[in-house]
Amino acid sequence: GGVELPVMEGGLAIPISAPVPEIGWQYVCSKVGAMSDPANRGRTYQVADVVLGSSLAVPAATNGGVALSEADASAFVGLYRNTTTGVPVRIVKEAAGLRVERGATLTAESNSRLVTPAGQRWALDGRGGITVTDAFGRTDALARVAPWTPASDDLRAFEGTYGSPDAETELVGKVEEGALVLRQRPDRVVRLTPIYEAAFSGSLGTVIFHKDDAGRVTGFSVSQDRVWDLRFAREIPAAR
């Protein structure tokens, strides 16, 4: 009670205890909002850097940047997964240059390293992936993955009932109208969109299915802003 919250430009509130979540979004705290303001309650946002005072020195991004050849730019473009959270990140090429899809612009410092306006460095790791280092030295590893477009029959392998003692709920996976959905009583339906193999996006967040050595689906994990590996175990295979 009475705790003040940092507020981003545009009046969006950020819980002061929020962890730094997935890469790709940069917001700078512009003012402080009172907890008594209803608009500042119950909201969470993806935040890469929140500057709370002049004591936090953020390295400035290189101005101008280096011109990349088509081949150099193509080395960055594509779909990646965060190796810790499984959350997907896509780098796209637009007329103005490279950027994180629905996120920050990327300016080249060299043909193997990019930087965001907030000082986040994206460097090719020599193995097809990218190492991301934020302005405070924290790193994330991104592995390149192929987009996945499974057929309806492929999706049936993920049907079943899944339970989580942590979430204290059950979700039932079914293929409906060619798409995999998760149903939760009484009437919640989460439609899943394939991203890369065995990984989907939906209103739950990023859903990543797990398999045993024989290739049987054993459960899935959910990654969100504040939860990176909420586990659901497969309980009852769906009847065919």
CA 56 vs. chain centroid, Å, equals: 25
Q: Tokens 């499974």 map to which residue?
A: 150
pTM reported for the whole predicted model = 0.71
Three-class DSSP labels, 32-95: EECCCCHHHCCCCCCCCCCCCCCCCCCCCCCCCCCCCCHHHHHCCCEEEEECCCCCEEEEEEEC
Q: Which tokens go with 179?
A: 């798409």
pLDDT digit of tens for each residue in the chain (240 aa)?
A: 444 444 443 344 444 444 444 444 444 444 444 444 444 344 433 343 444 433 344 444 444 579 999 999 999 999 999 999 999 999 999 998 999 999 999 999 999 999 999 999 999 999 999 999 998 999 999 999 999 999 999 999 999 999 998 888 999 999 999 999 999 999 999 999 999 999 999 999 999 999 999 999 999 999 987 778 899 999 855 555
Length of the chain: 240
The pLDDT, as a whole number, for residue 144 is 98
The pLDDT, as a whole number, for residue 219 is 97
List phi, psi (to 5°) of 73. Answer: -65, -40
Q: Which tokens go with 111?
A: 């043909």
